[in-house]
Structure 1
Amino acid sequence: ELKMVASEAPQEPPAPIIAREEDKVGRNEPCHCGSGKKFKKCHYPTLG
């Protein structure tokens, strides 16, 4: 009986998983590569 009730429940697709960086870098912070440039002028354009 329990299986029948569960199978009749509306199935919703799972929510998408959004990947996040471990250490979030602010756009105006120094770039993580050590270039001395701001992140937004160095590696930010390569993200996407």
Structure 2
Amino acid sequence: MKANEIVKTNDPNIPLYKELSKDFIKKENINKLKDFFIFLTNKLFFNKR
């Protein structure tokens, strides 16, 4: 499904869906970054021993 197909629907809640998806994507990215950061720090820390 293409993005512009979704926008064409006549659902009055579309702005709400867009906001929710933005928030969801931000949270997902933050969690991935945190996991990645923890992974990196662990690797660096254990390699120093």
TM-score interval for Structure 1 and Structure 2 normalised by the shorter chain: under 0.3
**Relative contact order: is structure 1 or structure 2 higher (C-alpha 8 Å, sep ≥ 6)?**
1
TM-score by length of 2: 0.19
Identify, as 1 or 2, the structure richer in helix.
Answer: 2
